[in-house]
Amino acid sequence: MNAPHDPALRAELDAGLRALALDPALAAPLLDYLALLARWNRTYNLTAIRDPREMVVRHLLDSLAMVPHVAGLPTLADLGTGPGLPGIPLAIALPGLRVTLVESNGKKARFLREAVRQLGLDNAEVAESRIEALARPGAFAAITARALATLPDILAAGGHLPAADGRLLAMKGVRPDEEIAALPAGWRLEAIHPLRVPGLDADRHLVVVARAPAA
């Protein structure tokens, strides 16, 4: 895809990529993804955010803020990815990362397959499945979820998916202390990383949860 891009959107994305210390060459495929999302969204209502400038910040840059914490991983499952967030921006930014986009909604899964095809993302695949029904136990170095559910609920549905030394990398707004206190047996908080999203005046945190050592 090489469609012309809105210069104002390109300038905003370029500035955000610089702030995140990411390659400016990522702007073109990211905007191709955004254009495809905006086009499908008019018919399929894939996201409530419709303003393209807001999409740059709340979809693209918000997803890319976790790149430093994902870089170097071999595999990642994005649970309840919706229109591909954060999985598709991460797959674009990190071609060495194998991303599985897990989504049970049929229209969203169709969009994801088309996005993977049109963007030429050889490192991304779509799993049209409920999270708890995905029969890939221990297959992933990490799982992630963005605005999906509480930490206990994410682990209840997808805790079978990380490898023995795998992690849950959960994208959250304000620090979710109550959710952390309610982590199920067998899981522990490893780290909380504040995230700075260019253009977003709101709290963002990446919560890292690992399996607890056996007693």
- State residue 192 phi and psi, 5-degree precision: -130, 120
Q: pLDDT-based confidence at 148, cuts 50/70/90?
A: confident
Question: Does pLDDT of 1 surpass 70?
Answer: no
pLDDT (tens digit per residue) in 166-213: 999 999 999 999 999 999 999 999 999 999 999 999 999 999 999 998
- Backbone conformation region of residue 205, classed left if phi is above 0, alpha if psi is from -120 to 50, else beta: beta
pLDDT (tens digit per residue) in 9-46: 999 999 999 999 999 999 999 999 999 999 999 888 88
pTM for this entry: 0.95
pLDDT at site 10: 95
pLDDT (tens digit per residue) in 72-100: 999 999 999 999 999 999 999 999 999 99
Domains plus CATH for the chain?
Answer: 7-211 (3.40.50.150)
Question: Which residue from 80, 50, 72, 59 is spatially nearest to 16, judged by alpha carbons?
Answer: 59
Q: pLDDT-based confidence at 215, cuts 50/70/90?
A: low
